[in-house]
Amino acid sequence: MSDRVTTVRDLIRTADRRWAEQYHRCSSVPPGDPGYARAQETIATYRKLADLDKEAASAADVEAIIGNNSWSSCTCSECGKAVPAVRECGQPREYDSSTADICRACLAKALAEIDAALADPGRNA
């Protein structure tokens, strides 16, 4: 299995870990700090994600906890559709990387376009 292929189930299984990585500083916000209440909400969200049955939970379950589907949906960068899985292409994902998530249908279309270009004598001389 490639670690550059992501499925919706992968996102469900890792939502709690990714949430903790994103919001790890919330546990150090002291009482009385203006951000304390929000930090406690964020910690509560993590606990709800951690309590999910990772094999039975749905993307909708994660969405209900977080309030949006960005943590549990695969969207193709090429066609814009929500899909069951994507392949990360380009640079490994980082904050400022040039990365695209491509679905199976768009990858197949791209391969067909490359094959057609290579088969065209006018383009492959």
What does the CA dihedral 20, 24, 27, 32 come to, rounded to 10 degrees? Answer: -120
The pLDDT of residue 92 is 86
Q: Return the domain boundaries, the chain.
A: 1-72, 75-125
Buried b (16+ CB within 10 A) or exposed e, 17-53: eebbeeeeebeebeeeeeeeeebeebeebbebbeebe
> Which pair of tokens denotes residue 118?
């290579």
**What value, to the nearest 5°, has the Cα angle with vertex 62 and ends 60 and 66?**
115
The pLDDT of residue 3 is 83
Segment holding 35, helix H or strand E: none
The pLDDT of residue 125 is 67
**Residues in the chain with pLDDT < 50?**
none
The pLDDT of residue 65 is 98
The pLDDT of residue 2 is 64
The pLDDT of residue 124 is 75
